[in-house]
Amino acid sequence: MPQSNLIQEAGLLQAALPEVAVRAHACIDSTNSEAKRVAQAEGISPALIFADTQTNGRGRMGRSFFSPAQVGAYFSILYTPEKGLASVVSVTSAAAVAVMRAIRETCGIQTEIKWVNDLYYEGRKVCGILCESLTLEGKPYVIVGIGINLTTADFPTELREKAGALGTACERGKLIAAVYRALEPYLTAPDRRDWLDDYRMHSAVIGKAVTWVQEGVTEQGIALGIDADGGLEVQTADGKKQTLRTGEITLRLQK
């Protein structure tokens, strides 16, 4: 991407979010890693770090996140929760709803949420979210890292089978600003639960057959619902119910 375009995009984003320290990078290892460095070096909050491309984009469960230039929105929001890290336990789920709403508002596309916080469109993943936290000299920071695919034209074939995209008509700068505005209420008032209805309504998993792994044990069952903290309520064939708080599920094809 020409440097002038990036500067222009950063300028528009800064104008849309005047209270946020916006940092733009043509290329960086990972915007989440850079957010940690910004916290360590400058201690500023809120900040928004975005990059045209990432060389070491990181996903959940230690996976990598493919982040080629000009075809995605890769950014991290750095924030200091006033009531400490324990207060923001549900930010992972709230972030999925915030991004879903911003995509709907900016691109006119309705995505679905696959627990915990992947967004799907037309059966393919279009967005992944990696939430991390750190404490520096007693000051807590939360980092919400978001990767959205706008096109997958440059993706290797094996990735294209799973990864979807929103389309190039979706304007990256506007989308990033809309995500920040949609997420902000859940960072400043983490007790809010007005993301829950949307989370449930647009869940891709409620009522579906799912597989999950807890403490190394693989189990199968049905996803029953989402509890008030975003936990996934599941039931195995023998009637045993439990609520999943962390980890990942796989959707199973129902016969």
Instruction: Name the site residues for ligand BTN (rule: CB under 6 A).
Output: 30-32, 54, 57-60, 63, 65, 74-76, 118, 128-130, 145-147
* Tokens 């696959």 -> residue: 114
Q: Which residue is nearest to ligand BTN (CB)?
A: 128
Min CB(167)–ligand BTN separation in Å: 19
CB of 89 to ligand BTN, least distance (A): 18
Considering the complex, state which of residue 68 and residue 185 has its C-beta at the smaller distance from ligand BTN. 68
Q: Are strands 112-114 and 118-121 parallel, antiparallel or unpaired?
A: antiparallel
Task: Choose between 72 and 231: whose C-beta lies nearer to ligand BTN.
Answer: 72
Long-range contacts, 13-18 (Cβ 8 Å, 24+): 13/48, 13/50, 13/173, 13/176, 13/177, 16/173, 16/174, 16/177, 17/48, 17/177, 17/180, 17/181
**How many CA atoms within 13 Å lie on the side-chain side of 58?**
18
CB of residue 237 to ligand BTN, shortest distance in Å: 29
- Angle between helix 172-188 and helix 91-107 axes, rounded to 10 deg: 150
Pick 65 or 186: Cβ nearer ligand BTN: 65
Q: Which is nearer to ligand BTN, 146 or 234 (CB)?
A: 146
Task: Report the nearest approach of ligand BTN to the CB of residue 191 (Å).
Answer: 25
In the complex, minimum distance from the CB of residue 125 to ligand BTN, in angstroms, rounded to a whole number: 7
Cα radius of gyration rounded to whole Å, the chain: 18
Residue 46 preceded by cis peptide, ω within 30: yes
Judged by beta carbon, residue 20 or residue 222, the one nearer ligand BTN is 20
